[in-house]
Amino acid sequence: MADIFDVLADGTRRELLATLLERRIQGASNGELSVSELVQRLGLSQPTVSKHLQRLREHGLVSVRTDGQHHLYRLESEPLHQVERWVADFLGEDDPDASAADGSGSAAFTAWSGSDAGESLGRRLADGTHQARAVASSATEKVAARLPRIVKRKAGDKP
């Protein structure tokens, strides 16, 4: 779950997702956009768009279909539903779908829609993940360093 927050913390990737969502809502072309259309709409370079689309693809947030020389991207919402369910647990909501149904919006949508709240949430979760990994790595190193002494004691040898 933490990796998806790293992905969503980036404003450019949230813009790409929002653009693909807009296309899906319009119902045009199965909600697909080519890389060149995304480049034009966002005013970014082709390498930048491709790099971010690759990251989104790695996490299942977009899918790609090849049509000749064109790569057509489309939003995949299931990973965002997983984020929404996870965030809803912290908000104390019993039914994460209820917030979307009543028009109040969802936490997951806010997290990637380009709002400052989404960037803040994503960055905090990414920072927390980094800190947790650093602590776990440090603990693993300490245990590994002591392991030979522990094994010798168990075997009856003196340290």
Kindly state whether residue 148 falls inside one of the protein's structural domains: no
- List, as one string, the DSSP characters of 55-84: HHHHTTSEEEEEETTEEEEEE--HHHHHHH
Q: What is the pLDDT of residue 33?
A: 93
- List, as one string, the DSSP characters of 7-45: HHT-HHHHHHHHHHHHHHHHT-GGG-EEHHHHHHHHT--
Kindly state whether residue 158 falls inside one of the protein's structural domains: no
Please give the tally of structural domains in the chain. Answer: 1
Predicted structure pTM score: 0.58
Structural domain for 95, as ranges: 2-116
The pLDDT tens digits along the chain (159 residues) read: 568 888 999 999 999 999 999 998 888 778 899 999 999 999 999 999 999 999 999 999 999 999 888 899 999 989 988 888 888 888 875 554 554 444 444 555 555 455 555 556 666 666 666 666 666 666 666 666 666 655 555 555 555
For residue 85, what is the enclosing H or E element? helix 78-91
Kindly state whether residue 18 falls inside one of the protein's structural domains: yes
Kindly state whether residue 31 falls inside one of the protein's structural domains: yes
> What CATH number should be reported for the domain holding residue 42?
1.10.10.10
Kindly state whether residue 102 falls inside one of the protein's structural domains: yes
